[in-house]
Amino acid sequence: MANWFVSVNGEQKGPYPTEQLRQLVADGFISRDAYVWRDGMAQWQLLSQVRLSDDPAGAPVEPARPAAASYNTPQPSYQGGQGGYQQPSGFQQPGGYQQSPYQQSAPQAYGQQGYANPVSDARNRGYFSFQGRIGRKTFWLSYVLLQTIVIVVLGIIGTVLAQTMMSINDEGMPVFAPPFYVFLAVCGVIYIFLLIGGLAGAVKRLHDRDRTGWFIFIQLIPIVGPIWFIVEVGFLRGTPGANRYGVDPLAV
Please tell me whether residues 101 and 177 are part of one structural domain: no
Confidence band of 55 (pLDDT split at 50, 70, 90): low
Torsion of CA 31, 36, 38, 44, to 10 degrees: 170
pLDDT band, very low/low/confident/very high, at 72 (cuts 50, 70, 90): very low
**Range of the structural domain that residue 210 is part of:** 136-251
pTM (global) more than 0.75: no
Look at residue 252 in the predicted model and tell me its pLDDT. Answer: 66
- pLDDT value at residue 46: 82
On the question of pLDDT at 51 being above 70, the answer is yes
- CA–CA dist 106, 43 (Å, integer): 9
Give pLDDT, residue 133. Answer: 93
The answer to whether position 242 is within a domain reads yes
Total domains present in the chain: 2
The DSSP code for 59 is S
| Better pLDDT: 87 or 162 | 162
Q: Please tell me whether residues 46 and 149 are part of one structural domain.
A: no
> Do both 151 and 206 map to the same domain?
yes
Position with higher pLDDT, 117 vs 240 = 240
Q: Judge whether 226 lies within some domain.
A: yes
Residue 247 pLDDT? 85
pLDDT (tens digit per residue) in 82-134: 444 444 444 444 444 444 433 444 555 444 433 333 333 334 468 999 999 99
Inform me whether the pLDDT recorded for 168 exceeds 50: yes
Distances (CA, A) of 126 to 122, 142, 164: 11, 11, 38
Task: Tell whether 146 is covered by a domain.
Answer: yes
Q: Exposure string (b/e) for 159-189, b if CB count within 10 Å is 16 or more?
A: eebeeeeeeeeeeeeeeeeeeeeebeeebee
Residues 43 and 145 reside in one and the same domain: no
Are 50 and 141 members of one domain? no
